[in-house]
Amino acid sequence: MIDIQPLTILREIDRTGSLTLAADRLNLTQSAVSHAIRRFEERHGVKLWEREGHKLRLTQTGDYLLGLALRVLPQLEHGATVLEDYARGRRGAIRVGMECHPCQDWLMRVVDPFLAEWPDVELDVTTAFQFGGLAALLGHEIDILVTPDPVERPGLEYTPVFDYELVLAVAETHPLARKQRVDPEDLAGETLITYPVSRERLDIYTRFLIPAHALPRRHRTVETTDLMLRLVASGRAVSATPDWLLREANGVTGVQLGEGIAKSIHLGQRSGTTAGYLDGFIHLARRVRI
């Protein structure tokens, strides 16, 4: 292996044009510099320079090593900076898993300031674990899970980032739009639209319909929020929807479900995580409001 010190010495001599100045820049004595070069020459059986009076002239080997030093040393110095940044949590990658269909618009409001504040951190947002995010988080496939339904597990911790209310989205012309609140039996004649999630994970069922032993006339699913709201606005269906989604929805209004269904979006992560950029992401997420 080639020692770094002789490469550093050759580069400083090339920069300063003087062995004395090079030694000063490196905080070494001239004898220490000469000894380091001599030790390198003896180890590899080469000559790096020859004296011409008071000047030093690099040999062909010395010229080669100088060129190597000019290429390699900046990369090693950059590498040292990167390692220091990693140690301080300034570099790395963060993988965010979505377990919340309607949260994507909110998440994008977090992403922009995060990318600006942490330019050296890679960010990946995936919906591949949309409804299996817990296993992905425990399996280190993602670093942060965005979920409205935190499941407590050893080794995980959750941070609530904002609260909202789940309401019944109905067309503005729908008879239910005139009510202050709807009861479970009001949905008996309605088509209910939800995201493609099992009923065991839908609050409209677990916290509203099932306790009252009530069901809608029909239940269908759609993949996107936009299509869901369009179908509701047309009067063809109703949907349990976060209240913030209805603030800019045309032709749709929200009605309270029973006594109200309060919810919170949480960010889950593995306990003991110390990366500064993860803390930075969560800090920004708590500041962004819908």
User: Distance (Å, rounded) from C-alpha 238 to C-alpha 89?
Assistant: 46
Instruction: Please check whether residue 168 is in contact with residue 245, taking contact to mean a CB–CB distance below 8 angstroms.
Output: no
pLDDT digit string (tens) for 15-48?
A: 988 888 989 999 999 999 989 999 999 999 999 9
Per-residue pLDDT of the chain (290 residues; tens, 9 = 90+): 888 999 999 999 989 888 889 899 999 999 999 899 999 999 999 999 888 777 788 999 999 999 999 889 988 887 787 677 677 766 778 889 988 888 887 898 899 999 999 888 888 888 765 557 888 888 888 889 999 889 889 999 999 999 999 999 999 999 999 999 999 999 999 999 998 888 888 999 999 999 999 999 999 999 888 999 999 999 999 999 999 989 888 999 999 999 999 999 999 999 987 778 898 999 999 988 77
Q: How far apart are CA 81 and CA 78, in angstroms?
A: 5
Q: If we measure between CA atoms, which residue out of 157, 153, 133 comes closest to residue 145?
A: 133
Look up the pTM and report it. 0.68
The strand ranges marked E within the chain are 49-52, 55-58, 92-98, 121-126, 144-147, 156-171, 181-182, 191-194, 218-221, 238-242, 252-270
The model's pLDDT over 103-153, given as tens digits with 9 standing for 90+, comes to 887 898 899 999 999 888 888 888 765 557 888 888 888 889 999 889 889
- Chain centroid to Cα 110, Å, comes to 10
Task: Spell out where 44-155 has E strands.
Answer: 49-52, 55-58, 92-98, 121-126, 144-147
